[in-house]
Amino acid sequence: MKKYQDHFFKKAKQEQYPARSVYKLKEIHNQFKFFTRGQRVLDLGAAPGSWTLYAAEQVGPTGVVLGVDLQETSTGFPPQVIFLQDDVFEPSPVLQELLQIHSPFDVIISDMAPRTTGVKFADQARSHDLCLAALALARSHLVHGGRFVVKVFMGPDSKALQMDMQQSFKTVKIHKPKSSRSESKEIFYVGLDFQGAPV
């Protein structure tokens, strides 16, 4: 299995993506085809920037990708990318303004992950909180019919999250990318056809 992981690591280097995680998004996109030219995309947990770069390639120069992360990145992005160091739990006034300017987004993607503590339940709970923060942003800033991709660490709250998403999306699919580490508990929920926040 190690060889398989090295393969994605090397491939990312060759193709000039800063992280191997880009292949997870590519796989998800190959299946669900949610990006098109000119779209507005919100990328949560964007550093170091491989999802942002891929989204920027897909939407092209007429699109916009707003990438947000707690951490800075030194990755060079094309002009359609705005990268902001910020916290989804406490959006700064700058982030709030950018969200207003660029809303509604056609696609919102979240690869956010907490800094792991090694305590399984604590890590799962923190990941769940990040998923809820991403879903709340999707409910406020996604266009009707829009798409939402969120990384989930499978745990006791995952089913509740799926049901919560089903209240806002016509379809919620589950995807486990081949390029995820086999031992990883991560899966992705893909919400298709946004219907609005539940009343």
Name the residues annotated as catalytic.
151
Q: How far is the CB of 24 from ligand SAM (least distance, A)?
A: 8
Short-list 109, 52, 54, 106, CA closest to 82: 52
Where on the chain is the footprint of ligand SAM (CB under 6 A)?
18-19, 21-22, 45-51, 68-71, 87-89, 111-114, 130
Measured from the CB atom, the residue of 39 and 180 that comes closer to ligand SAM is 180
Measured from the CB atom, the residue of 113 and 143 that comes closer to ligand SAM is 113
Q: Which residue is nearest to ligand SAM (CB)?
A: 45
Cα-only R_g, the chain = 16
Short-list 95, 56, 60, 62, CA closest to 76: 56
Short-list 28, 34, 82, CA closest to 59: 34
Q: Is 6 annotated as a binding residue?
A: no
Residue type, 14: Q
Q: Sheet containing 105-110: which strands, arranged edge to edge? A: 81-85, 64-69, 40-44, 105-110, 142-153, 186-194, 169-175
Q: How far is the CB of 153 from ligand SAM (least distance, A)?
A: 11
H/E element, 4: helix 2-14
Q: Is 183 exposed, middle or buried (0-12, 13-18, 19+ CB in 10 A)?
A: exposed
Q: How far is the CB of 37 from ligand SAM (least distance, A)?
A: 21
Q: Is 76 annotated as a binding residue?
A: no
Measured from the CB atom, the residue of 111 and 157 that comes closer to ligand SAM is 111
Measured from the CB atom, the residue of 46 and 108 that comes closer to ligand SAM is 46
Q: How far is the CB of 170 from ligand SAM (least distance, A)?
A: 26
Where is the binding site, in residues? 49, 51, 69, 87, 111
Where is the binding site for S-adenosyl-L-methionine, in residues? 49, 51, 69, 87, 111
